[in-house]
Chain A
Amino acid sequence: MSQDLMRYAARMDLSKMGAIMPRRMAHIAQGAPVPPKLDYAANLTAKALHPKCQKLLVAEVIEREGGAKSFVLRAQEGGELARFRAGQFLSFSLAIGGSTITRAYSLCCPPSWAKQGKYMITVKPSEDGFAGNWICANWHEGTQVTASAPLGEFSYTRLRDARHILGVCGGSGVTPFCAMACAIAEGSEDYSLTLLYGSRDSDSILLGEELAALAQRCERFTLVNVLERGGGDESGYITTELIKKYMPEGDCSLFVCGPAAMMQAMETAIAPLGLPERRIRRKTYGVTEAALEADWPQEAAGKTFSLTVKMRDQTYTVPCASGETVLVAMERAGLEPPSRCRSGECGWCRSRLSAGTVYIPARTEHRRKADLAYGYIHPCCSFPTSDLTLCVGCE
């Protein structure tokens, strides 16, 4: 024991040690013997903003261009719905045949609708074959549906983005921009949006009338219809030159959303613009297909592998075709693995691959580094290249 410290310690009061417990007891004695409070505002706000799931029903079905439909959804119990930022999506849980699958659809209504207890999504059957067709055929007024809370990062963020967004989209990729235009029009967002919207012809402009009306009454939203077959504001495809033509003076953020094939074409178109990475935001719409990826190992083509899935105290073995994701294989077999975004980003389907190999497209690679190192994958964007063993929701 240090003699120096002992000398100093002589000034300290040893008897205080004995006071620690009586002081504690005195304080605790003052507490009321009542059950703990659990309904704190921060927790209630968290629940209101991010409910685990939302029970909705179809309140209205609106026919759109080319067989597409918009669905106005309301809370089954009535009341408000979880707030969203324009550009976010809902992940729907769909029971089709013997399978339960998920699909993400962007909200395409004003953000203020959530407080009024309603949402709107628009589904284009052709683009998302399986689920899109099924929804358009089976959802009617009164149909009950289950959705996630609003999700996704394809939204304007003032601390990050330029105050003027140049949007580039095709097909269903227009839906998040529709919400943004609505938000600007209703005054809940204060940025400007110029939208380059590619469609085949004037009859196939999804949400065309709504967007035209919004552009009409809202100065900060400019709509440019780019029609392959001519007759729009611009003709042909969205090219580097066209983007340059409509790029606003000064600072600008480029938001790009569309099906995978269009996204690949757009990467080529935006590269020569020399924009810094922080000024480009991307969202790929629709399903992920291995065959579309340039570096997909061709030797896997046409093969079907065996997938062993461990789920808590159960083990299943199901087939897994090389061209479809591990997630789809599980859903097809009637398992109910977790998933939300289906684009690799949200990580909700994170599972450990304990045996086998997969191909993961570089553009969908959003895993944590430690997950990469410890053998975890996001099944929504992983394609089998051998037989697999996967631990889902358990280890």
Chain B
Amino acid sequence: MGNKYDLVIVGAGNGGTMAACRASMMGLKTLVIEKHNMVGGAATSFVRGRFEFEASLHEIPDFGQGAERGNLGRLFDELGIQVDMLLIPDAFRTIVAEGDTVTMDVTVPHGREAFMACMEEQSPGCSKSLELYFEGARELERGLNYLGASRGKPDPEVLRRDYPIFCKIMSMSTAEYLRAVGVPQKIQDIIGAYWPYQGSDLETIDASRYLLMTEGYFLAGAYMPKLRSHEIANAIQKRSRELGCDFWYETEVTKILTKKGAVCGVETKDGRRVEACAVIANVFPDIVYGKLLDDKSLVPAFERKKIQARSYGFRGFSVYMGLDRTAEELGIKDYNVFINSSADTKELFRQAAAPELPLGGRADNLSCTCLNIVNPEATPPGTAHFAITTGFAADAWDKAVTPENYVRVKREMADMMIERYEKVMGIDIRSHIEEIAIATPVTFARYMGTPQGVIYGYHSSRWDGMSARTMVGGSEPTVPGLFFVGAHGARLSGFLPTLTSGDITAKQVMGYVMGGGKA
């Protein structure tokens, strides 16, 4: 083997690049191998005509400025990563329209005071319950810090004595926790609008995950990078490079090599072998265990069973449009509008998990964003960047699509989504489409290589949500020297969780390498 590294990272998504940065910062000789010609994974953009479309990011929490600097912002500061962030004015506008009849339409602002005032207006007297709700977030963070400090081996007595609320929240679903602290139904319906971000209903998503997310968004606000999410990827890459990390693009890892039961390097499609003490896979465990690992007998039976027991999270479907009018001219006032047919997330999830595509019916579960509301310079003067996204929780797309009908099926889905938005909002989009691109699960499968084009990792089931994955600690071992980052991690999917997973995992790798390759 000609090349020798402490760490090889396979895949340069959010988790992979962040791990590269942290590992290089700690002095590990690191090589990132990416099969595409740039870093970022889902954190990317693409150019059509005079528009540059944001491929994936709707908003990123935990940045904050000045005294409000959030954890992710502080992590970037510590690592020396600089990204120009723009504050998003409102959290969201949530619209429930059964058919064309709007039954709920609320615009929710960011920031504690504004948020509380808005909720109070919607349901007088609810503030008390919301204060309790958010206090839970502090208890949760305190408990998670203790868990982290205990390196996955917490003392049950200490947990019970000092962290009882944390313990209780960890065991609850979001809906259970909302009910327990007495949040009125109407407010639950509003808070529930973020459900598609976790890809499941409130009775299923862990309270731990939802609480951290909503606290981040509602109270601390959310941000967008000025130059699309690709800027985040480029910025982390640049810093990693400065810290000595090497990157190989257009290079596909075909094998993760092992020796004496532990990972010892990788082999690429063009036959290069790179020696490494540890390998971080920013790749689905399915693919690592099923395809990349040279000795499949090393995969613990438990890990195989876990993959079979799990189901996949949302498969994405996005319609990106460059419009030849400004947001103002079009009448678009909101950065992000959620449009659902019901406030009942269980019903919405049931629809998203339907075995058939709703072709010929009505598109539901839409998240509609206009980048220019946050960033007026996002597109040339006189134009706007508009996107509508939905998600599928089942294999409907897999069944519906063949190479033959692909173009037609994706057009029909996009057509339904545009029509739904236009009818509910009373805004004409269709007459102003200068550029349009439609990304389907097939597109995500093509670019990200995930099974079925899933963008959210594994489904956040009650037995496999953030709480369970966090409690696992190090008790579900894989092959020694093999580590995972990405949406399948403890904090699940999204920019914050995947970036964080890279940081945490690189530190674990450091421990492994320092220990001479012993877990």
Task: Specify the chain A residue showing the minimal Cβ separation from B398.
Answer: A41
Q: A36 with B289: in contact, given A20-B468, A160-B435, A374-B234 (CB under 8 Å)?
A: yes
Residues of A within 8 A of B249 (CB): 393-395
B-contacting residues, A146-162, CB 8 Å: 153, 157-160
Q: Is the CB of B414 closer than 8 A to any CB of chain A? A: yes
Task: Specify the chain A residue showing the minimal Cβ separation from B397.
Answer: A42
Q: A31 with B230: in contact, given A42-B441, A393-B250 (CB under 8 Å)?
A: no
Of A48, A158, A160, A345, the residue contacting B434 (CB under 8 A) is A160
Q: Is the CB of B50 closer than 8 A to any CB of chain A? A: yes
Residues B445 and A5 in contact, CB atoms below 8 Å apart: no
Grouping DSSP codes into helix (H, G, I), strand (E, B) and loop, the B interface class, with mixed when no group exceeds half, is helix
Query: A329 to chain B: closest CB distance in Å?
Result: 19
Residues A393 and B37 in contact, CB atoms below 8 Å apart: yes
Q: Is the CB of B415 closer than 8 A to any CB of chain A? A: yes
Docked pose: A9 CA to B406 CA in angstroms: 52
Residues of B within 8 A of A82 (CB): 403
Residues B452 and A40 in contact, CB atoms below 8 Å apart: yes
Q: Which of B257-265, B300-308, B507-515 contacts A (4 or more CB under 8 A)?
A: B300-308
Q: Is the CB of B254 closer than 8 A to any CB of chain A? A: no
Docked pose: A276 CA to B302 CA in angstroms: 60
A-contacting residues, B467-515, CB 8 Å: 467-468, 471-472
Residues B414 and A159 in contact, CB atoms below 8 Å apart: yes
Q: A31 with B309: in contact, given A42-B315, A158-B411 (CB under 8 Å)?
A: yes
Residues A20 and B168 in contact, CB atoms below 8 Å apart: no
Residues B307 and A43 in contact, CB atoms below 8 Å apart: no
Docked pose: A42 CA to B167 CA in angstroms: 40
Residues of B within 8 A of A153 (CB): 48
Residues B414 and A16 in contact, CB atoms below 8 Å apart: no
Docked pose: A170 CA to B430 CA in angstroms: 32
Q: A28 with B434: in contact, given A9-B165, A49-B403, A313-B3 (CB under 8 Å)?
A: no
What 1/0 flags go to B262-283 for Cβ under 8 Å of A? 0000000000000000000000
Number of chain A interface residues as a range: 35 or more
Residues A41 and B463 in contact, CB atoms below 8 Å apart: no
Task: Specify the chain A residue showing the minimal Cβ separation from B450.
Answer: A43
Q: Is the CB of B404 closer than 8 A to any CB of chain A? A: yes
Query: A132 to chain B: closest CB distance in Å?
Result: 27
Residues A27 and B461 in contact, CB atoms below 8 Å apart: yes
Q: Which of B64-72, B119-127, B240-248, B346-354 contacts A (4 or more CB under 8 A)?
A: B240-248
Q: A42 with B306: in contact, given A2-B135, A24-B463, A395-B241 (CB under 8 Å)?
A: no
Q: A33 with B304: in contact, given A41-B398, A45-B403, A46-B443 (CB under 8 Å)?
A: yes
Residues B309 and A28 in contact, CB atoms below 8 Å apart: yes
Residues of B within 8 A of A35 (CB): 289-290, 296, 304
What 1/0 flags go to A20-40 for Cβ under 8 Å of B? 110110111111111111101
Q: A40 with B164: in contact, given A5-B139, A312-B248 (CB under 8 Å)?
A: no
Interface centre among B3, B418, B432, B445 (most CB of A within 10 A): B445
Residues of A within 8 A of B182 (CB): 8
Q: Is the CB of B324 closer than 8 A to any CB of chain A? A: yes
Residues B168 and A9 in contact, CB atoms below 8 Å apart: yes
Number of chain B interface residues as a range: 35 or more
Q: Is the CB of A163 closer than 8 A to any CB of chain B? A: no
Q: Which of A133-141, A199-207, A284-292, A361-369 contacts B (4 or more CB under 8 A)?
A: A361-369
Grouping DSSP codes into helix (H, G, I), strand (E, B) and loop, the A interface class, with mixed when no group exceeds half, is loop
Task: Specify the chain B residue showing the minimal Cβ separation from A6.
Answer: B165
Docked pose: A13 CA to B233 CA in angstroms: 43
Query: B341 to chain A: closest CB distance in Å?
Result: 23
Q: Is the CB of B153 closer than 8 A to any CB of chain A? A: no
Residues of B within 8 A of A31 (CB): 304-310
Residues B165 and A5 in contact, CB atoms below 8 Å apart: yes
Residues B228 and A370 in contact, CB atoms below 8 Å apart: yes
Q: Is the CB of A19 closer than 8 A to any CB of chain B? A: yes
Residues of A within 8 A of B237 (CB): 395
Residues of A within 8 A of B308 (CB): 31-34, 36
Of B181, B309, B398, the residue contacting A30 (CB under 8 A) is B309
Query: A53 to chain B: closest CB distance in Å?
Result: 12
Residues B247 and A395 in contact, CB atoms below 8 Å apart: yes
Residues B433 and A5 in contact, CB atoms below 8 Å apart: no
Q: Is the CB of A278 closer than 8 A to any CB of chain B? A: yes
Residues A2 and B132 in contact, CB atoms below 8 Å apart: yes
Q: A347 with B47: in contact, given A21-B471, A28-B309, A32-B308 (CB under 8 Å)?
A: yes
Residues of B within 8 A of A213 (CB): none
Residues B399 and A41 in contact, CB atoms below 8 Å apart: yes
Docked pose: A345 CA to B49 CA in angstroms: 9
Can you report 26 residue pairs joining A to B where beta carbons are below 8 Å apart?
A: A2-B165, A4-B132, A6-B165, A8-B180, A9-B164, A12-B169, A13-B171, A14-B160, A17-B170, A29-B305, A36-B286, A36-B304, A36-B308, A38-B287, A42-B397, A45-B442, A49-B403, A159-B411, A160-B433, A160-B435, A313-B2, A368-B228, A369-B231, A370-B45, A371-B234, A395-B249
Given contacts A28-B302, A36-B286, A277-B49, 17 further A-B contacts (CB under 8 A): A36-B287, A40-B445, A40-B451, A41-B395, A41-B452, A42-B401, A43-B452, A45-B401, A45-B445, A49-B406, A83-B406, A157-B436, A278-B432, A313-B3, A369-B227, A373-B234, A374-B238
Report the 6 A-B pairs with minimum CB-CB distance, sorted nearest first. Answer: A31-B309, A278-B434, A31-B308, A31-B305, A16-B171, A36-B286
Using a CB–CB cutoff of 8 Å, the interface residues on chain B facing chain A are 2-3, 37-38, 45-50, 52, 131-132, 135-136, 139, 159-160, 164-165, 167-172, 180-182, 225, 227-228, 230-231, 233-235, 237-238, 241, 246-251, 285-287, 289-291, 296, 301-302, 304-310, 315, 324, 395, 397-399, 401-404, 406-407, 411, 414-415, 418, 430, 432-436, 440-443, 445-446, 449, 451-453, 461-464, 467-468, 471-472
Using a CB–CB cutoff of 8 Å, the interface residues on chain A facing chain B are 1-2, 4-6, 8-9, 11-14, 16-17, 19-21, 23-24, 26-38, 40-43, 45-46, 48-50, 80, 82-83, 85, 115, 153, 157-160, 276-278, 312-313, 338, 345, 347-348, 350, 366-371, 373-374, 393-395
